[in-house]
Amino acid sequence: MLHPGNIIRSKRSTMALLINEQGELIVKAPLKLSNAQIFDFVREKHEWIVRQQQKVLQNSRLNHSVMSYNSFLFLGVQHAPVITDDVKKVTRYDNRLLIPSKFAEAGEITVLKKIEKWMRDMAKQIVSERCSYFGQRLRLEYRGVTVNNNKSRWGVCDDKGNIALNWRAVMLPPHLLDYIVVHEFCHLLEFNHTPQFWAIVETILPNWKVIRRELKLYNYLLTLFRPLPKP
């Protein structure tokens, strides 16, 4: 169940169990804890581990079409790509992404690059709008907002008040995208993930724990478009 290579030791006082996007168990453990103690802890949590792995693998199967680029998520809704002569650029229509025929003729990689560019452009617009909304609602000022290509994070906020969201956040359902925005705005008031920070989040999103767990089901999206599949 647990490969020794999946044990990450650090200067922490407690153990933590994580299930990655591939359904593998990752253990974060204190430096001095023995392997025997770690394996005992894992055995005690066997049922929980199996349940979490089943959820991850089920989610992976349900979203296989997205992970294989046969459909694309936009604001939580799957969109099927449709090749057509009726448009000159990538265009969303109902639950479809209309792709100009000239892109398809250039090959799959070209199509994916064009879809990525469209996603990034939409992300800039939507992220800017949501930050403006929450900035006014919460009466908080921020220095600037951008979209980035972070490998493991949905959003970041630096100590100068600059907010950046991963462009892939535009694939998420709106309430999850808003959670990320709220999360980063709360860092304007409390920079670290202290109890005070989460208390602030809770005043805005009382069900943040549920939303946070739901967001984890979409972490596989962070692996998309990096790198693009080979032709």
Per-residue model confidence as pLDDT tens digits over 180-213: 999 999 999 998 899 999 999 999 999 999 999 8
pTM score, two decimals?
A: 0.73
Mode of pairing for the β-strands spanning 7-10 and 25-30: parallel
Task: Give 230's DSSP letter.
Answer: P
Task: Give 227's DSSP letter.
Answer: S
Residue 178 has pLDDT above 80, yes or no: yes
In the predicted model, what is the mean pLDDT of the chain? Answer: 90
Residue 89 has pLDDT above 90, yes or no: yes
d(CA 130, CA 121): 15
